[in-house]
Amino acid sequence: MTPETPRVIVAVITGERGQREIVRPLAAVGERCVVLDWEEFAARVCCPHLRFPFALQRLLRTHPGSVVFTDMNSAFLAVIVVACSLLGMPVVLRLRGDPFAETRDQLRFHWRNRAWLSLIRAGIAWLLDRPLFARVSRFVPVSDWVVRRLHIEARSAVVRIPVEVDGFPIRSHETAGRLRLLAVTNFNYPQKVAPLGRFLDEHRDFLRAQEIAVTIAGAGIALESFRAEHGGQAALLGFVSDVAALYAAHDVFIHFSDLDAFPYVVLEAQASGLPVLVNRACGMLEQVEHDRTGLIVDLADRSQIEAHLRSLSEPAIRTRLGTAARAHVAATYSLQEIGRQLLDRGLPSRQPR
């Protein structure tokens, strides 16, 4: 057999999410990563945007023949693609969603709010991403939903998101009482949260009659406009750092979105032993097996949603769904399992010496 050249993976990432989805899974299976973390870099140097291209170039020249694995797009991806093209290195892109739909969503929001600087930034992303994606060697999207939307079947391998289950103590559902619903969402993408607002409006009377409390956590550009419209219907917490405690304090997790590929928060809730109620859209159909690891609903079917919420008032049903969901997450989305998939499917083969 021909020996293989040792490979170094240069992970150019956006902080904690990149650590969680790229670096930690690969480290769990013994793969070496050299990391350029944008958030850490920006915190320790002045003029980080100007210095980033030079730091990247130094890193790549120090590790010739590397595979560059990134979760960054727009101007950052432009710098990465140019540098790698000059040095003959492949670029592998981790995709968490449909960046074109997300950027369109932000463009509409910033236009309505006359936020010109943010509009310009979103416009740059809109102009850059499509030609840059044509230069990417391989995509590693988190769901088949992304593959279908972006038509990248020939250059992609789906690898899910890892969750460290031990970081989420299981929720006990021993006693009945007032049902507490929790949603955690990203207000940077208004299209993601619009279905949640419709749910609050359409089920207002039901929620009040059943004494069901709704809590929503998350931050982003659309938070204050959502608060102005729906603040009387739910408790809006903004950013919450201790998400494990947040899940433990609630009974049911709801996630209604039209623009989520494979939301991490659904996996977190499942890892916490919470029953999840999700709408029949996006990659969430790939996360939930109906009536085993959660419940899938049609948001247009009000009676169906309300029937499920009534059933979830029973602790035994919440326990059954939550226990099965946690076991599934532990078996399927461990760091080691996702790390193996990244190596086997996501990254180019090692080159022979």
Say how far residue 203 (Cα) sits from the centre of its chain. 27
Burial of 287 (0-12, 13-18, 19+ CB in 10 A): buried
Rounded Cα distance, 238 and 223, in Å: 8
Q: Are 306 and 205 in contact (CB under 8 A)?
A: no
State the DSSP code for 255. Answer: E
At 63-81, the pLDDT tens digits run 998 999 999 999 999 999 9
Q: Which residues pair with 290 in a beta bridge?
A: 294
Report all structural domains of the chain as residue ranges with CATH numbers, in order of start.
Answer: 9-158 (3.40.50), 166-332 (3.40.50.2000)
Rounded Cα distance, 289 and 296, in Å: 8
- First-to-last alpha carbon distance for the chain, in angstroms, is 11
At 126-151, the pLDDT tens digits run 999 999 999 999 999 999 999 999 99
Q: What's the predicted TM-score (pTM) here? A: 0.92
Q: What sign for the dihedral angle of Cα 335, 143, 277, 185?
A: positive
pLDDT for the residue 124? 94
State phi, psi for 237 to the nearest 5 degrees: -95, -15
Task: Show pLDDT as tens, one digit a residue, over the chain (353 residues).
Answer: 334 444 689 999 999 999 999 999 999 999 989 999 999 999 999 999 999 999 999 999 999 989 999 999 999 999 999 999 999 999 999 999 999 999 999 999 999 999 999 999 999 999 999 999 999 999 999 999 999 999 999 999 999 999 999 999 988 888 777 899 999 999 999 989 999 999 999 999 999 999 999 999 999 999 999 999 999 999 999 999 999 999 999 999 999 998 999 999 999 999 999 999 999 988 899 999 999 999 999 999 999 999 999 999 999 999 999 999 999 999 999 999 999 999 999 888 654 43
CB neighbourhood size of 39 (10 A): 14
State phi, psi for 299 to the nearest 5 degrees: -65, -20
pLDDT for the residue 350? 57
Q: Are 25 and 335 in contact (CB under 8 A)?
A: yes
